[in-house]
Homo-oligomer: A and B are copies of this chain.
Amino acid sequence: MTRITLRFDFDDKRRLGPGKVALLEAIRQHGSIAAAGRDFSMSYRRAWLLVDELNKMFAGPLVETHGGGRNGGGAVLTELGGSVVALYREAERKMSRSASREIEKIEQVLALAGTPQS
């Protein structure tokens, strides 16, 4: 099963790709930047810097933190954060569908990998 990964380069500096989107989804799930980062074996500092970058990239913050200072408090996706995640995932779904013929054709010319093709 071929997995499609999608990255947007908005301009020289601003990028949105699978890593940032997965981090946002993990923040929504765990309610915490630290816990979300751990899902990807990411240091708290690294996760926090990515969130900071995302918050500055868009017209408003995608993640809001509350309570207990940087490490102690929780974090939630804002409405804008939820929208950006949904738009990215919807783009990904549409793209996989739209190019399914090309993907299939590329799969057909892959070398056999271990198991024989039927």
Binding site for B on A (CB under 8 A): 2-11, 14, 16-17, 56-60, 80, 83-84, 87-88, 90-92, 94-95, 97-99, 102-103, 105-107, 109-113
Contacts and interface: CB of A to CB of B under 8 A. Distances in A.
Nearest to A95: B95
Contacts of A59: 109-112
A19 to B, nearest CB: 12
B98 A94 contact: yes
Best-surrounded residue of A11, A88, A90, A91 (most CB of chain B within 10 A): A91
A3 B14 contact: no
B91 A109 contact: no
A89 to B, nearest CB: 9
